[in-house]
Amino acid sequence: MAANKKIILTAEGLKKLEEELEVLKGEKRSEIAEKIKVARSYGDLSENSEYDDAKNEQAILEARIADIEATLKNAVILDESEINNDKVHVGSFVKVVNLNLNKEMTLKIVGSNESNPKELKISDESPVGIGLLGKQVDDVAEIETPGGTVAYKVLEISR
Q: Would you give per-residue pLDDT tens digits along the chain (159 residues)?
A: 445 678 888 888 889 999 999 999 999 999 999 999 988 888 777 778 888 899 999 999 999 999 999 989 988 887 777 777 889 988 899 999 999 999 999 999 998 888 898 999 999 999 999 999 999 999 999 999 888 899 999 999 998
Q: What residues form DSSP beta bridges with 156?
A: 95
- What local confidence, expressed as pLDDT, does residue 4 receive? 63
For the chain, give percent helix, strand, coil, nearest 5.
Answer: 45, 25, 30
- What local confidence, expressed as pLDDT, does residue 8 receive? 82
Q: Report the CATH number of the 80-158 domain.
A: 3.10.50.30
* Residue partners of 54: CB distance under 8 A and separation at least 6: 32, 35, 36, 39
Q: Are 89 and 122 in contact (CB under 8 A)?
A: no
Residue ranges of the chain assigned to CATH 1.10.287.180: 7-77
Phi first, then psi, for residue 95 (nearest 5°) are -90, 120
Domain 7-77 has CATH 1.10.540.10: no
SS3 103: strand
Which is it for strands 103-110 and 7-9: parallel, antiparallel or unpaired?
A: unpaired
- What local confidence, expressed as pLDDT, does residue 48 receive? 81
Length of the chain: 159
Residue ranges of the chain assigned to CATH 3.10.50.30: 80-158
Q: What residues form DSSP beta bridges with 11?
A: none
What gap in Å lies between CA 139 and CA 118, rounded to an integer?
A: 25
Please give the model's pTM, rounded to 2 decimal places: 0.68
